Amino acid sequence: MTNHHYSDPHWLLRAEHVSKTFGQTRALVDASVTVRPGEAVAIMGPSGSGKSTLLHALAGIEPADSGTVILRRPNESGFDDLAALTDSERSGLRLRRFGFVFQQGMLLPELLAWENVALPLLLAGVPRGAARQRATDELDRFGLAGTDERRIGQLSGGEAHRVAIARALVTRPTLVFADEPTGALDSATASDVLGELLSAGTGSDCALIIVTHDERIAGRCDRTVRLSDGRIEAGA
C-alpha cells in the first residue's frame, strides 16, 4: 500500500475513524490516533470506555467495523492496512512485529521460563537452539539469569512479569501492547516492572501502548489518550 497521505516519516501506527460495535454497544466511535517511534502512549478511561477495544483494534486482534489501522513497514518499504489483511496475514504480522504483555502474564505453566520467552520465535519457525539463545539473552537482560530452567510456578510475581516482558520483546517488535501489565503486582514491584517495560519497549524504531487505569503509570508515559463512551476525548 502506498499513499502520499502516509509519507510523513514520524509515525509507526496510524488509526483513522475507527469504530467497533458489539451487539447494540458502540465500543469505539470514530477513534483516530497516531503512534510515533520512541514514545510510550497510555490509554485511559472508565471501565467500559473502550480502552481494551481500542488496543485490540490497533493490534489487529479485533478488527474494526469501519475505519483504517495502518502500520508502517520496516525501512520505509511501505504500509500495511490491517483491515485489508486476511486473518492469517494479521496473525503472522502480530507474531513478527508486535509484542504483548497482559495483566496476568498469560504464561504457560507447563513450559520452562526460556520456553515461554522463546514461544513466539518457535511459532515463527526459528530453530530451537537459536530461539533458546535469544530467550536466554532476554532473560539475562531483565535480571533473570539462572531462571531459564525454572517453571513459572517457581518464580515470584515480579519475576514472572519480567518473563512476560522478555517474551514480548524477544522478536524485537515494532510495537509492544500492554493491557494493565502491572495490575496484579504490589506497588513497589509494579514500579520496577513498569520502568523496565518503558525502557525496553521504546526506542528509535519501536513504541509502547499501555492500557491502564492508574494515573501514576500514565504520568510516566509520553502521552495519554483518554476515552469516554468509546470516543477519544484527548491525547490522540
Task: Please write the tens of the pLDDT for every residue from 84-130.
Answer: 999 999 999 999 999 999 877 689 999 999 999 999 999 999 999 99
- Quick one: what percent of the chain has pLDDT higher than 70? 94
Q: Computed from CA positions of residues 179, 184, 187, 188, in that sequence, does the dihedral angle turn out positive or negative?
A: negative
Confidence bin at 155 (pLDDT 50/70/90): very high
Confidence bin at 1 (pLDDT 50/70/90): very low
Residue 4: the pLDDT is 40
Residue 193: the pLDDT is 81
What superfamily does domain 4-234 belong to in CATH?
A: P-loop containing nucleotide triphosphate hydrolases (3.40.50.300)
Burial call 142-169: b when 16+ CB within 10 Å, e when fewer: bebeebbeebbeebeebbbbbbbbbbbb
What mean pLDDT is reported for the chain? 89
Grid coordinates representing 23 are: 451487539
User: What angle, 0 to 180 degrees and rounded to 10, lies between the N-to-C axes of helices 113-123 and 157-169?
Assistant: 20
75 Cα distance to chain centroid: 21
How do the domains of the chain map onto residue ranges?
A: 4-234
Burial class of residue 16, CB neighbours in 10 A (0-12, 13-18, 19+):
middle
Q: Examine the pLDDT at 76 and tell me if it is beyond 80.
A: no
Report which residue type is found at 92.
G
Residue 5: the pLDDT is 52
Burial class of residue 68, CB neighbours in 10 A (0-12, 13-18, 19+):
middle
